[in-house]
Amino acid sequence: MEKTLIWLIVIVIVLIGGYYLFFNKQPVSGEEIKIGVPFVLSGDGAAWGENAQKGVNLAVEEINKKGGVNGRKIDVIYENTEGEAKKAVSAYQKLVSVDKVEAILGPLLQTETASVAPLIAKDNIPVIAPSYAAIQNRPNPRNPLLIWMDPTIEAGRMAEYVFKQGIRKMGVIGTLDSWENEVSEAFAEKFKSLGGEVVVKEIVQPDTSDVKLNITRIVNEKPEAIFLGTYFQFIQSLKMVGDLGYKGKLYSIEVDSYLANETKSISSGLRFIAPDFYTSDFMKKFEEKYGQKPGIPAGQAYDAMNILISLLAQAKDKERVLDLMAKLENYKGVSGNIVLTEDHKTLFPTAVFEIQDGQFVKVE
């Protein structure tokens, strides 16, 4: 009887110990840190996603060469969202449920980020995204932590710049995509508040195949300048502007090398606002690795990964990571001093650039 009791006690102790070890397992040196990265890698936004992917890979390569995070190497698992909200949700769910990642970097587009934000709040998994989503679409304003310039402020800065150039009559073309609509509306409202006039504002579907009527309406009003608040319809709109023989000024927001190359014959002279040039050492490292200059959002994705890595290095569990995310106020990265305000806006240094034969030249 006494031996039986002793064995029962031993079994209970072993079971309790096993339960504790299983459910309170701490990462050990040598184990990989799995980070999920849902990026748009095909479709209309592929060039954007590929630039971001290169920035992430460069950051991970550098940290792994130094031994990883507390002795643990970074293992990145990519999922292609194809730029669609539903697929962003599916990618997120796979990374969390199947791949069991410890954190996520991404997605990239506003519609994608807004679609996964409620799931992130429910799962309480740390997410940093080189993206933007309106505050009303984020149940937890600091998770995902957004490493992208607030578009209303950026568009407002561009409106101020255009007004200072002496422009008083504008035409605006944008789309119903949430980010592009917000940009177009913010630019128009700021320009009008300064005393300018928006003679025509055309907002189209992001996937429309014909903008001839919309651009014709703008050109017929003879504005001094046109603001293209769109990525999806940038190429088609600009080509139509050229076909109609418009001779006024052209302005935009966050033009990348893909757009510039696709409109090389007609975009020279167009000025746009975007995050300022990256630091020279990042430019050099990127060109050495990929044989090309980094475009947006390569530097922002690089910074986002380094922010995530720095937080993981300070924390032993996701609750501590989330606490650090909530307290982060600024980060000095390759894309400048990133400021996270108390009202949950993200600010970057921005600059105005001009396209000259497909190349970007900083003008202010």
- Give yes or no: residues 162 and 270 share one domain: yes
- Give yes or no: residues 167 and 270 share one domain: yes
Nearest-CA neighbor of 179 among 208, 156, 159, 206? 206
* Each residue's pLDDT tens digit, 228-280: 999 999 999 999 999 999 999 999 999 988 899 999 989 999 999 999 989 99
- Give yes or no: residues 104 and 156 share one domain: no
- Give yes or no: residues 243 and 202 share one domain: yes
Residue 72 lies in a domain: yes
- Give yes or no: residues 230 and 355 share one domain: yes
* Each residue's pLDDT tens digit, 201-239: 999 999 999 999 999 999 999 999 999 999 999 999 999
Q: Is 142 exposed, middle or buried (0-12, 13-18, 19+ CB in 10 A)?
A: middle
Tell me the C-alpha distance between 176 and 152, whole Å. Answer: 15
pTM for the structure as a whole: 0.86
- Give yes or no: residues 357 and 208 share one domain: yes
Domain containing 130: what range?
A: 33-148+297-328
Asked whether residue 24 carries a pLDDT value surpassing 50, the answer given is no
Residue 21 lies in a domain: no
- Give yes or no: residues 37 and 83 share one domain: yes
Q: What are the residue ranges of helices labelled H in 195-317?
A: 212-220, 234-243, 257-262, 280-290, 298-314
Domains of the chain: total:
2
- Give yes or no: residues 138 and 211 share one domain: no
- Give yes or no: residues 175 and 136 share one domain: no
- Give yes or no: residues 246 and 127 share one domain: no
Residue 284 lies in a domain: no
Q: How far is CA 18 from CA 15, 22, 23, 25, 100, in A?
A: 5, 6, 9, 10, 21
pLDDT of res. 6: 52
The residues facing 254 across adjacent strands are none
Q: Is 36 exposed, middle or buried (0-12, 13-18, 19+ CB in 10 A)?
A: buried
Residue entry with tokens 């578009």 = 151
- Give yes or no: residues 232 and 358 share one domain: yes
